Structure 1
Amino acid sequence: METIQNMFEHLHWSNQRIIKTLQSNEGGNKQVYNLFAHILLAEQVWFTRLKGLDSSKLPIWAEVNLEACEQLVNQNYQNFKELLSGMSTPKLEQIVSYKNSKGKEFNNSVRDILTHAALHGQYHRGQINLLLRANEFEPVNVDYITFVR
């Protein structure tokens, strides 16, 4: 549980660093904003699935302004913080059934879903950093080791 909780603290720390950078570089690359919104929307979708609710109507890709992104950063953090605070290690092995956005059903453990949700964002934050550098902005250090230091 401790590792997963640390991963989600890192996720939130990383999202905060990205949002601050985007706020200071407004008017930048639209693809950067769309990737960041995708990270946050996907976190929302995975949380919804973990709660046993239907996520099939939630957007995964959508244009979201920076103010709404900031709200999603904070809401997602609160949602996962509450979820993880009440979770025990045995619950991580429970299977969650859900449908993806195309209606296809899947079954995965809570542990695998949480791991995916944490790693998914890091993948896209790497893409964001690549685009920032290509547009002559300083990439955001979101390395886990920096977070734990």
Structure 2
Amino acid sequence: MNIIMKMFQHLDWANLRIVEALNAKGDRNHQTKRLFSHLLLAEEVWFNRLQGLDSNPQAIWTELTIEECLNLVLKNQQRFSGLLGGLSETTMEDVIVYKNSTGQEFSTSVGDILTHVALHGQYHRGQINRLLREDGFEPVNVDFITFVR
């Protein structure tokens, strides 16, 4: 549980750093905003699945504005913080049944879903940093080790 909690603290910190950088740079790269929007919308989808709510069909490749991204960062942070506060080692093993965007049904443990959400975000933040570098900007340091320091 402690590792999952720390991963989500890092996720929140890293998402805020990305949105601040995109806002400060006045980023007009649609691919960058689309990737960041996808990351945040996917977090929302997974939260809904964990709550037993319908998550389909939800457009997870919609491009949000920087302001909408910030609002979703804060909303996701609040929602996952509340969720994580109510979990225990035992409930991490609970299995969630859900359908993906094509309607295929899956069963996955809460712990595996939470691990996926944290890793999925880091993957896309890396892609965002690559695009920032290609556009002539310094990438945002979202390394876990920087967070824990």
Deviation at 1:82, TM superposition (A): 0.0
The match for 1:132 is 132
Deviation at 1:63, TM superposition (A): 1.4
**Deviates most, 7-16 or 58-67:** 58-67
The match for 1:3 is 3
User: 1:73-112 counterparts in 2 under 5 A?
Assistant: 73-112=73-112
| TM-score, normalization by structure 1 | 0.98
Aligned residues: 149
Deviation at 1:71, TM superposition (A): 0.3
Distance 1:75 1:16 in 2: 12
The match for 1:24 is 24
SS in 2 for 1:146: helix
User: 1:54-73 counterparts in 2 under 5 A?
Assistant: 54-73=54-73
Deviations, residues 74-97 of structure 1 (Å, cap 9, x unaligned): 000000000000111100001000
Deviation at 1:28, TM superposition (A): 2.8
User: 1:33-48 counterparts in 2 under 5 A?
Assistant: 33-48=33-48
Distance 2:56 2:89 in 1: 28
Deviations, residues 10-64 of structure 1 (Å, cap 9, x unaligned): 0000000000000011143110000000000000000000001110122211011
What fraction of aligned residue pairs are identical, expressed as a percent? 57
Deviation at 1:145, TM superposition (A): 0.5
| TM-score, normalization by structure 2 | 0.98
SS in 2 for 1:96: strand
Deviations, residues 87-120 of structure 1 (Å, cap 9, x unaligned): 1110000100000111110000000000000000
| Moved beyond 2 Å, runs of 4+ | none
CA RMSD of aligned residues (A): 0.7
Where does the alignment leave 5 or more consecutive residues of structure 2 unmatched?
none
The match for 1:122 is 122
SS in 2 for 1:89: coil
